[in-house]
Structure 1
Amino acid sequence: MMRDFNRVIRYLAYTLEILVLFMLQETPGLLPSIFGVRPVLLFPAVVSIAMFEKEIPALAFGIVGGLFCDFGLSGTLGFHALVLGLLCFFISLVVRVYMQVNLVTALLTGVWSIGLAICAQWFFLYFFNYAQPAYAFTHHYAPKYGYTLLFVPLLYLLNRGLSQALGAQEEGQFPYSRK
């Protein structure tokens, strides 16, 4: 019963984290613009949550974070939810089976998964609809990718603390090593 209570509290904490990060990323002037872009804080948040949760909760948090991205980034509704949901499911599966969770693997996972999400965003939402896609990629999407990656270690440490404090390791969800 205590594990169920800790799980509910942990999921509520993750949900609150996603809401707060969405408000921070959407508040104009709060985060400084670098090269004219602001970071997408929800990408590293859901990626790091997926590293500490099982596949289905990771999928759910990826979809929720993706829907918030769809609302805030004014793209096609459901695009980011689909991309982040699939990425988070895959990340959770790979981490639980093949990898140890530490800061280095979190950074490597953030590099490829956030890069994949931003490249998919550029390809499907920009490439076919507008002129000069290479210019947009190098002057908008690549700086957004780099700026977003700066938040991966911070959000990894935050979610690791939440996971440890609220008992994910007791449920066998916190994979320090392969079994």
Structure 2
Amino acid sequence: MRNLGFFRYLSYSLLVILLYVLQATPNLMPELFGSKPLLLFPLALAIASVEKEVPSLIFGAVCGGLTDLAAGGGIGYFAIILTLICYFESHVFSTYFVPNIFSATVYSAIATVLSIGVYFLIFKAFSGIPDWQILFVNHYISRIVYTFFMFIPVCILVRFLHRNLKNR
């Protein structure tokens, strides 16, 4: 049973495709308070909490790039930021912290708030959009909360796949 690592990465890849379709297809994922979650963001963070640095970096880059493409732009902010966040998370969890679901949830909360918040500041507030405060209250707060709460079921699924498809 040494090829289970292949099936684990295949399962992660299928999750990337499924969550990308849910995230990018209009009216497929319900909007709460005027926004949809960034589903690939919690997936990349959940994978980084259980995998080594290189797979975490790769899945972070793929999930970030697809998040950028789903937003209608080219590959940019989320590809870079999610790659760095996932690499750092994997390194920190393999070196300093015990990678349990609580620590992964706390890291996910911090990473989600900071990355989406910085995205909003750079691309919305500082770019001169009128009434950016209303945009933040009406759409971005709910997007941050919705994205964070999606982390918990995604993390449980990723941890299940990691535990059951681990090389023995």
TM-score w.r.t. structure 2 length?
A: 0.92
Partner residue in 2 for 1:153: 152
Partner residue in 2 for 1:99: 97
> Comparing 112-121 with 152-161, which one deviates more in the overlay?
112-121
Query: Which whole-Å deviations, capped at 9, do the CAs of 1:119-154 have from their partners, x for residues lacking one?
Result: 121122212222233222222111100111111110
**Partner Cα separation in structure 2 for residue 123 and residue 75 of structure 1:** 17
Aligned residue among 77, 82, 105 for 1:84: 82
Contact 1:106–1:153 (CA under 8 A) maintained in structure 2: no
**Partner Cα separation in structure 1 for residue 143 and residue 73 of structure 2:** 16
**Partner Cα separation in structure 1 for residue 57 and residue 126 of structure 2:** 28
**RMSD between aligned alpha carbons?**
1.5
**Partner Cα separation in structure 2 for residue 90 and residue 132 of structure 1:** 35
Give the secondary-structure state (helix, strand or coil) at the position aligned to 1:146. Answer: helix
Give the CA deviation at 1:116.
1.6
**Partner Cα separation in structure 2 for residue 27 and residue 70 of structure 1:** 14
Give the CA deviation at 1:70.
0.9
Contact 1:50–1:92 (CA under 8 A) maintained in structure 2: yes
Identity of aligned residues (%): 34
Gaps of at least 5 residues in structure 1 are 171-179
TM-score w.r.t. structure 1 length?
A: 0.87
Give the CA deviation at 1:102.
2.1
Contact 1:47–1:88 (CA under 8 A) maintained in structure 2: yes
Give the secondary-structure state (helix, strand or coil) at the position aligned to 2:61. Answer: helix
Give the secondary-structure state (helix, strand or coil) at the position aligned to 1:99. Answer: coil
Contact 1:106–1:152 (CA under 8 A) maintained in structure 2: no
**Partner Cα separation in structure 1 for residue 98 and residue 53 of structure 2:** 16
Q: Which amino acid aligns with 1:150?
A: F
Query: Which whole-Å deviations, capped at 9, do the CAs of 1:69-124 have from their partners, x for residues lacking one?
Result: 01101235222110100000011011111211222112211100111220121122
Give the CA deviation at 1:61.
0.3
Partner residue in 2 for 1:173: none
